[in-house]
């Protein structure tokens, strides 16, 4: 049912936790399946220096959170905004059709964290 990459990121998730003073935070949830995902970003000079996540959900939700963080560390804000839900699933070598909504959460949470970062920058 799950690819080896999904199982690896589920069993050994990368970048779990939270950033004490994040540049931005994004949280999303899917009431249908109960998954809740929060992504924290640390940005310096428009580059994502660190990303952490906390996810309450199924194995696919944890795996998509983990791979999402790996895909954007070291990227510019503009590059990270281009990350799509499909790209997250592709990076895991695919997800079962009934779990595709989980990959949507990772990109959405990241985009919300970036929006939060940008709002904080405009408020300065």
Written as six digits, the tokens of 10 are: 């589920």
- Averaged pLDDT for residues 30-34: 75
CB 71 within 8 A of CB 5: no
pLDDT for the residue numbered 72: 98
How confident is the model over 54-100, as pLDDT tens digits? Answer: 999 888 999 999 999 999 999 999 999 999 988 999 999 999 888 88
Task: Give 82's Cβ-side CA count (13 Å radius).
Answer: 4
The whole-chain average pLDDT of the chain stands at 93
What three-state secondary structure class fits 5?
Answer: helix
Q: Is 58 a catalytic residue?
A: no
Written as six digits, the tokens of 122 are: 């405009």
CA atoms of 51 and 66, how far apart (whole Å): 10
pLDDT for the residue numbered 50: 98
pLDDT for the residue numbered 102: 66
Residue 62 backbone dihedrals phi, psi, to 5 degrees: -65, -45
Task: Return the CATH number of the domain spanning residue range 4-118.
Answer: 3.90.1010.10
CA atoms of 87 and 111, how far apart (whole Å): 14
The single residue of 77, 83, 102, 109 carrying the catalytic annotation is 102
- Looking at 3-12, 39-48, 101-110, 115-124, which range is the least confident one? 101-110
Q: What is the pTM of this model?
A: 0.93
The single residue of 16, 19, 33, 100 carrying the catalytic annotation is 33
């Amino acid at each position: 049912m799950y690819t080896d990459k999904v199982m690896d990121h589920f069993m050994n998730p990368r970048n779990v936790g939270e950033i004490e003073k994040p540049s931005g935070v994004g949280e999303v949830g899917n009431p249908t399946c109960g998954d809740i995902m929060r992504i924290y970003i640390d940005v310096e000079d428009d580059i994502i220096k660190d990303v952490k996540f906390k996810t309450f959900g199924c194995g696919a939700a944890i795996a998509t959170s983990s791979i999402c963080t790996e895909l954007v560390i070291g990227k510019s804000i503009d590059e990270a905004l281009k990350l799509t839900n499909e790209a997250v699933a592709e990076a895991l070598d695919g997800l079962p059709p009934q779990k595709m909504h989980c990959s949507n959460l990772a990109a959405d949470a990241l985009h919300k964290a970036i929006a939060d970062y940008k709002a904080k920058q405009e408020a300065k």
